[in-house]
Amino acid sequence: MATSVVAAQASDSGQRVLLHPLVLLTASDLIVRHQLRQLGGPIVGILLGQQQGTQITAEHAFPAKLDNGLLDQTDDWTNKRIAQYKEVHQNPVLEVVGWFTLCPESGPLPEHAALHKQLVSLHAENGIMLAIHAAEFKTMDGTKGKVPVSVYESIPEAEGSAPENAMQVDGKEAAGLQFRPVPFVVETDETEMIAINYVAKGAGSAAAVSQTSQSTSTKAQEASQSGTKTRPADQKEAPAQTGPSLTLEEEDQIAGMTTRLNSVKMLQERLQLMSKLVGSSPPSYLSDQSITLSPTAPSPDHLAQLRNIQALLSRLSLLTPAGHGESEALRQAGQAQSNDVSITSILSMLGQDIQELSELGRKFATVEQAKSSRNKNKGGFNQGGFGAMDDFNSRSSRLDIDSELMM
């Protein structure tokens, strides 16, 4: 049995880890695919997130590529994958905060220490290890709401005061590194919960349809190979479905409507709770001026809730439909704003048209001026040519007359 490399002393670093459901979903998907495809080797993934002081947030994860139990550095595959995630998620900036893998509940093993040491030297100096206890999935009770994972931080072995024989396991590569657990919280918001619930519902319906079709095809193949006909008892067992089979799209639509219905039910419960709180409160001096104020008359414990209810009621007027008179005034105000926007747009278009017409007039004047200048130059040349020809003709006639007289 392999020796655990968990430190004897508890964590005193004050680190706090926030896990997002997307990390757990990615790790679960990787484990399921690895088992269904019967792949060999360990299951390892890289965690991306943020680190602010002693608080580490794990927001995204992706499967790691291994070579002989260590991160594959061929063609710089890991660094390229990390750079792609950083390029997609630029705000906030992501960085490598750790890794995840399968691990027994007792704690990390020496081979985990070797891989963690490589990851720390390459990417994350204060990286964490997310240990997923796959053995607990078979025995865990889903009603307890406990996630079968643990988070560890690494420390030098000298600080962990580990047993002496722990250094002799797995050679020198894993020596000098131990783990100790740190507290973690599953951090999420409402939108993320809705998205995770939608993905989980879709995956469940897809698995159910796939399993049904696979079992049907397997039975048909066995019947064809045996060459025997189905017995009457089998024919009675076949129509076991109580209703028509639903497609994946229909299952997703039902899941979406169920989510909306649960949201409406939760809203109704909250409204009933607020109504009971307001109904059980004593009369307020705001409604009755004769009531005197006292340190206990408006309960200090209820003041924060009553202020929130008052703020909610003040915002309801913006959501509820107004009356006929208010609606008409609101419609006229909206129409006036729409007209102002339309007039501004028309004036802008008119200004652009005037500018284009002015540019066209300037170009037309330039063309006309060039044309007039060209015609003027051409007319002057023609007039000069005809005058020289007339002078030549008159001189020729005079020479002829003089020659005749001399003869």
Q: How many CB atoms lie within 10 A of CB 205?
A: 19
> Which has the higher per-residue pLDDT, 352 or 122?
352
Looking only at the bridges linking them, the beta strands covering 184-186 and 16-19 are parallel
- DSSP per residue, 101-147: EE--TT---HHHHHHHHHHHHHT-TT-EEEEE-TTHHHH--GGG---
Is the pLDDT at 164 greater than 80, yes or no? Answer: no
Average pLDDT over residues 15-22: 87
Quick one: how far is CA 127 from the chain centroid?
24
Report the CATH number of the 16-188 domain. 3.40.140.10
Query: 27-52 pLDDT, tens per residue?
Result: 888 888 888 888 877 888 889 998 88
User: Where residue 350 falls among pLDDT bands split at 50, 70, 90?
Assistant: very high
- Model confidence, pTM: 0.47
Are 25 and 199 spatial neighbours (Cβ–Cβ below 8 Å)? yes
Give pLDDT, residue 322. 60
User: Left if phi > 0, otherwise alpha if psi is -120 to 50, otherwise beta: which for 351?
Assistant: alpha
Cα dihedral 57/58/60/66 (nearest 10)? 140
Looking only at the bridges linking them, the beta strands covering 66-67 and 95-102 are unpaired
Give pLDDT, residue 358. 93
- Tokens in use for 299? 């309960």
Domain boundaries, the chain: 16-188
Structural Rg of the chain based on CA atoms = 43
> Which has the higher per-residue pLDDT, 141 or 188?
188
Q: Looking up tokens 């590529």, which residue turns up? A: 65
Closest by Cα among 17, 187, 168 to 97: 17
Whole-angstrom CA distances from 354 to 145, 365, 367 are 71, 16, 20
Is the pLDDT at 99 greater than 80, yes or no? Answer: yes
Closest by Cα among 153, 150, 145 to 55: 153
Give pLDDT, residue 324. 59
What is the largest distance, in Å, between two alpha-carbon atoms of the chain?
A: 153
Give pLDDT, residue 218. 53
- Tokens in use for 289? 């001026």
Most confident among 303-307, 317-321, 363-367, 380-384 (mean pLDDT): 363-367
Query: 211-254 pLDDT, tens per residue?
Result: 444 545 555 555 555 554 444 444 444 444 455 677 878 888 88
Give pLDDT, residue 169. 42
Q: What percent of the chain has pLDDT over 90?
A: 8
Q: What angle, rounded to 10 degrees, do the helices at 190-226 and 248-280 form? A: 140
Q: How far apart are CA 84 and CA 72, in angstroms?
A: 17
Whole-angstrom CA distances from 276 to 268, 279, 282, 299, 314 are 12, 5, 12, 15, 19
Average pLDDT over residues 292-319: 75
- DSSP per residue, 229-279: PPPHHHHHHS---SSPPPPHHHHHHHHHHHHHHHHHHHHHHHHHHHHHHHH
The mean-pLDDT minimum among 43-52, 70-79, 253-262, 394-403 falls in 394-403
Q: Looking up tokens 């009755």, which residue turns up? A: 288
> Which has the higher per-residue pLDDT, 350 or 255?
350
Q: How many CB atoms lie within 10 A of CB 34?
A: 16
Is the pLDDT at 7 greater than 50, yes or no? Answer: yes
